[in-house]
Amino acid sequence: MAGLTISSIDGDLKVMYDDMVQELNNLNPGIYKRFKKLDRYRGTGSGYYFATRMKGNQRLGAAAEAGAIVSAGSSTWIKGYVVCVYNYRPFQTTGPAVARAKNGGGFVTDVLTDDIALGEKELTRYLNEQAVRSGDGVITQANGAGTTSTSLTVDSTRQLHENMQIEAYASTVEQFGQTTAVAISNINRNTKVVTLAAAKSWDDNSNIYRYNQYNSGTPLETNGLRNLVDDSTSASVENIDPATYLQWTSYHDSSGGQVTRMRLAKAINFVEIFTNKAIDEIWCNGATRNNIFMMVQPGIEFTEPKNLELMYDPKDDPLRFMGRVFPVDECIYDGDIFGLTWETLGKIVEKPMDVGSVIPGMGNTLLRDAGYDSGTGFISVYEQLVCLDRRANFKFTDLTTDYTF
């Protein structure tokens, strides 16, 4: 796969892209205009992947008042041709419940807080795990040897998640996991220490694979839109056929089925609302307010460099923001439709989730004016731009090294 470029499938991407842009225009001309800016990205032969994990609504408002919390439903993954990724998890609540929660309403506040914590944990599990493709299968490497230990330090955690089953090989010699799968019980993404469910031994620089991938013949690893499958065609893209799509996405949602561009367009529509400015515009526009009554707040704010890692080798062409050279590993934030630029790239910081994060200032007034007594809140996380493979071609601004998305 080394040196592979996706420019060969640019024609397929263009068809998908143009159709989706038209659907976006039908839904919302404003979104269409912003999304149209991404056209310049397509000219490079690059592809992007959008993953929105939509959990079934939890009836936190009325259900909480009735003393019954309804479990969330199954996940749906929406994939498409865009520049950035925004994961969110919705729940439903009522205007009165929101009002009480804002005023420290005891049980309802506790329920909202607990659900936010649960949602954040679920979303974190899928952070950076966007798609899968056929490749060499190596998802990370051991950084140091271990003897009968449960603490495995790795080079990168971006393709790992809790409860994931893994196996390790030093060259062609199994270290652990092939005969009996070994699960990940915890991940510290700051120290890159992975806690294994069972004590194992391994050599330094052992390759880590998903369970059963080393000897599978077509090992899978996470990656971006390189393998986009269009639900409207039977042709395969990058050796991924729609007939095997469920297997292709089984790491995320084995019952999700193929996606549609209309779902994607609706997801983009939701994403557009995740800004303070958009909330203000909705509030000031009566017609829009009556149609869109979702209570939303951004899950991040842009203030200072923090926890931002780039997927490149700084020896090639280090990027610097606000006097800081960012470390190797992981991915990079970007996103034209969110108004991010290279100038704002170094000012991203995660915003802690709390009740205030999902209940905007309008509260139940927004719901009442929209003619509803309930609405949908969102627990959300920003997800990195898909930049998971350095082995093909994509040109960053001001860089001399090509990378792929």
Contacts 24+ apart (CB under 8 A), 178-186: 178/212, 178/214, 178/215, 181/211, 181/212, 182/211, 184/160, 185/150, 186/162
The pLDDT score that the predictor gives to residue 158 is: 61
Residue 195 pLDDT greater than 90, yes or no: yes
The pLDDT score that the predictor gives to residue 351 is: 34
Would you say 306 and 299 are in contact if contact means Cβ atoms under 8 Å apart? Answer: no
Residue 194 pLDDT greater than 90, yes or no: yes
Alpha-carbon gap, residue 378 to 269, rounded angstroms: 14
Given pLDDT bands bounded at 50, 70 and 90, which one contains residue 153?
very high
What is the per-residue pLDDT across 322-370, written as a single tens digit (0 to 9) for each?
A: 343 433 222 222 222 222 233 333 333 333 333 333 333 333 333 333 3
Angle, nearest 10°, between helix axes 29-36 and 261-272? 100
Contacts 24+ apart (CB under 8 A), 141-147: 141/205, 141/206, 141/207, 141/208, 142/168, 142/202, 142/203, 142/204, 142/205, 142/206, 142/208, 143/192, 143/204, 143/205, 144/204, 145/201, 145/202, 145/203, 145/204, 146/200, 146/201, 146/202, 147/201
The pLDDT score that the predictor gives to residue 261 is: 30
Quick check: helix, strand or coil at residue 269?
Answer: helix
Lookup: tokens for 90 = 């919705």
CA angle 230, 234, 240 (to 5 degrees): 65
The pLDDT score that the predictor gives to residue 138 is: 80
Q: Phi and psi dihedrals of 83, rounded to 5?
A: -95, -20
Beta bridge partners of 395: 402
Would you say 59 and 70 are in contact if contact means Cβ atoms under 8 Å apart? Answer: yes
Residue 197 pLDDT greater than 50, yes or no: yes
Given pLDDT bands bounded at 50, 70 and 90, which one contains residue 291?
very low
The pLDDT score that the predictor gives to residue 118 is: 56
Residue 157 pLDDT greater than 50, yes or no: yes
What is the per-residue pLDDT across 257-290, written as a single tens digit (0 to 9) for each?
A: 333 333 333 333 333 333 334 434 433 444 433 3
Beta bridge partners of 187: 194
| CA-closest candidate to residue 343, choices 327, 328, 317, 322 | 322
DSSP 69-117: PPPP--------S-S-EEEEEEEEEEHHHHHHHHTT-THHHHHHHHHHH
| CA-closest candidate to residue 186, choices 178, 197, 202 | 197
Alpha-carbon gap, residue 227 to 263, rounded angstroms: 19
Beta bridge partners of 114: none
Would you say 39 and 278 are in contact if contact means Cβ atoms under 8 Å apart? Answer: no
Residue 244 pLDDT greater than 70, yes or no: no
Residue 13 pLDDT greater than 60, yes or no: no
Listed by start position, the domains of the chain span 6-131+259-383, 136-217
**Stronger pLDDT, 55 or 142, i.e. the higher one:** 142
Lookup: tokens for 336 = 């034209």
Given pLDDT bands bounded at 50, 70 and 90, which one contains residue 191?
confident
Judged on CB neighbours under 10 Å (0-12, 13-18, 19+), 19 is middle
Quick check: helix, strand or coil at residue 150?
Answer: strand
Percent of the chain surpassing pLDDT 90: 8
Given pLDDT bands bounded at 50, 70 and 90, which one contains residue 181?
confident
Percent of the chain surpassing pLDDT 70: 19
Would you say 299 and 381 are in contact if contact means Cβ atoms under 8 Å apart? Answer: yes
What is the per-residue pLDDT across 58-117, written as a single tens digit (0 to 9) for each?
A: 222 222 223 222 233 322 222 222 223 333 444 444 555 545 544 544 444 455 455 555
Residue 198 pLDDT greater than 70, yes or no: yes
Q: Which range, 114-123, 157-166, 180-189, 211-220, has the best average confidence (pLDDT)?
A: 180-189
Would you say 107 and 355 are in contact if contact means Cβ atoms under 8 Å apart? Answer: no
What is the per-residue pLDDT across 375-400, written as a single tens digit (0 to 9) for each?
A: 344 333 333 333 222 222 222 222 23
Residue 182 pLDDT greater than 80, yes or no: yes
Residue 319 pLDDT greater than 80, yes or no: no
Per-residue pLDDT, averaged over 113-136, amounts to 45
